[in-house]
């Protein structure tokens, strides 16, 4: 949570934030290997790859020209991040914890090129059916869960206003549902459909309607009914690679039911690991520790097929997927490139 506080300009002691900023040298991009630029140039332009956040000191030499504090990177690292040849997107998760204003989104948009896109995570205020304490334990039902009006006012409207064309996908990541809710999956899917329909209707008034996507944390929801609800409401399924969910390959039937359409994927967490366990084992996130070739192969295949069908692809990876998100995406890009390469002629 420290980097979230830093994004709000919190002072953790010592000199005031403004004085610290003036005292710190700006962070820049390293001299990237020309092979990365060549690889990026070969990828279909419809494919945008990015990481979940960018405030990691361990990325010195990979994304940044020097080691810098999480605070500095969270405030000033995005411009250097966007100079990485392969990183044309970024996950923006900060609003999950507290809704952001349009001006805050606009500040992010101002730091990146026109071709850059954000995958923005909606607030827990409307995506978690429970109120939770500081340890993440549910304490009471959330009366604002799937409140379409609140979702539009606190999330969709400011994100679209601030990011403009750079709003790649707005993701409603549903926190794990209660057993009581999962006892009636059709009933919940109907409620989700009504929510998405209302949000999409509100978006019709915007100059540019955003791409809405839903990510789930309960395998029980991966049904044809969910696919039908998403299609009818004009939303996409966000393929979420997470220890709580089946493999990426096992989630493909739902994507096929929604074909054709944009691919939104969040490669979050290596199978078999908890978040804190992966964080402790992978820090400082400057090398691949536990590679996941099966997920990489699935995402590469689906990304290329989606781009070839004329649809956009947005994939963001977390450090907890394999150990280092920038290196994970480099490997993914190489896998896509290998699939796209013409087969050698046979004699």
| Phi, psi (degrees; rounded to nearest 5) at 84 | -70, 130
284: preceding bond cis by omega (within 30 degrees): yes
CA neighbor of 63 nearest in space, from 344, 325, 336 = 325
- Kindly tell me if the per-residue pLDDT of 179 is higher than 80: yes
pLDDT band of residue 8 (cuts 50, 70, 90) is very low
Percent residues over pLDDT 70 in the chain: 92
Query: How deeply is 202 buried, as exposed, middle or buried, from its count of CB atoms within 10 A (0-12, 13-18, 19+)?
Result: middle
Could you report the per-residue pLDDT of 105-146, keeping only the tens digit for each?
Answer: 999 999 999 999 999 999 999 999 998 887 777 788 999 999
Q: What is the pLDDT of residue 343?
A: 64
From CA 262, how far away is CA 294, in angstroms rounded? 21
Q: How far is CA 137 from CA 23, 153, 182, 299, 324, in A?
A: 40, 27, 18, 33, 29
pLDDT band of residue 18 (cuts 50, 70, 90) is very low
Beta carbons within 8 Å of 312's beta carbon, 6+ residues apart: 46, 48, 168, 211, 262, 263, 306
Q: How far apart are the first and last CA of the chain?
A: 59
Question: What is the pLDDT of the chain when averaged over all its residues?
Answer: 90
Angle at 159 between CA 138 and CA 18, to 5 degrees: 90
Could you report the per-residue pLDDT of 264-277, keeping only the tens digit for each?
Answer: 999 998 877 777 78
More confident of the two residues 12 and 295: 295
Q: What are the structural domains of the chain? A: 31-340 (3.20.20.410)
**Residue 143 bridge partners (DSSP):** none
DSSP 60: B
Whether 144 and 150 have beta carbons less than 8 Å apart is answered as yes
More confident of the two residues 2 and 226: 226
CA neighbor of 104 nearest in space, from 170, 154, 49, 173 = 154
pLDDT band of residue 168 (cuts 50, 70, 90) is very high
Whether 40 and 86 have beta carbons less than 8 Å apart is answered as yes
Buried b (16+ CB within 10 A) or exposed e, 242-277: bbebeebeebbebbeebeebbbbbbbbbbbebeeee
Beta carbons within 8 Å of 45's beta carbon, 6+ residues apart: none
Q: What is the pLDDT of residue 24?
A: 67
Mean pLDDT score, 150-165:
95
Q: Which residue has the tokens 């709580």?
A: 244
Beta carbons within 8 Å of 126's beta carbon, 6+ residues apart: 144, 145, 146, 147, 150, 151, 154, 155, 172
Its pTM surpasses 0.85: yes
Q: What is the pLDDT of residue 344?
A: 59
Q: What is the pLDDT of residue 280?
A: 84
- Kindly tell me if the per-residue pLDDT of 72 is higher than 60: yes
Q: What is the pLDDT of residue 204?
A: 76
pLDDT band of residue 206 (cuts 50, 70, 90) is confident
């Amino acid at each position: 949570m420290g980097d979230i506080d830093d994004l709000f300009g919190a002072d953790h002691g010592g000199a005031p934030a403004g004085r610290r900023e003036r005292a710190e040298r700006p962070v820049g991009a390293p001299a990237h290997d020309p092979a990365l630029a060549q690889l990026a140039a070969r990828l279909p332009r419809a494919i945008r790859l990015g990481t979940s956040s960018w405030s990691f000191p361990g990325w010195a030499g990979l994304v940044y020209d020097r080691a810098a504090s999480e605070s500095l990177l969270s405030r000033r690292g995005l411009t250097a991040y966007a100079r990485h040849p392969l990183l044309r997107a970024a996950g923006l998760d900060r609003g999950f914890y507290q809704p952001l204003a349009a001006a805050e989104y606009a500040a992010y948009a101002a730091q990146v090129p026109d071709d850059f896109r954000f995958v923005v995570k909606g607030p827990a205020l409307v995506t978690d059916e429970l109120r939770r304490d500081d340890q993440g334990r549910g304490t009471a039902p959330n009366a604002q869960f799937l409140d379409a009006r609140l979702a539009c006012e606190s999330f969709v409207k400011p994100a679209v206003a601030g990011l403009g064309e750079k709003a790649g996908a707005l993701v409603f990541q549903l926190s794990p549902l209660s057993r009581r809710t999962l006892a009636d999956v059709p009933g919940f899917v109907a409620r989700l459909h009504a929510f998405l329909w209302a949000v999409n209707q509100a978006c019709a008034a915007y100059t540019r309607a955003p791409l809405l996507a839903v990510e789930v944390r309960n395998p029980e929801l991966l049904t044809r009914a969910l696919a039908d609800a998403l299609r009818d409401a004009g939303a996409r399924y966000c393929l979420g690679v997470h220890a709580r969910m089946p493999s990426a390959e096992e989630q493909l039937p739902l994507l096929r039911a929604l074909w054709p359409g944009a691919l939104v994927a969040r490669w979050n967490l290596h199978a078999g690991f908890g978040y804190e366990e992966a964080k402790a084992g992978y820090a400082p996130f400057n090398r691949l520790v536990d590679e996941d070739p099966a997920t990489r192969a699935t995402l590469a295949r689906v990304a290329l097929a989606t781009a070839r069908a004329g649809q956009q692809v947005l994939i963001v990876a977390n450090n907890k997927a394999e150990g280092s998100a920038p290196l994970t995406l480099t490997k993914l890009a190489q896998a896509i490139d290998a699939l796209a390469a013409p087969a050698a002629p046979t004699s």
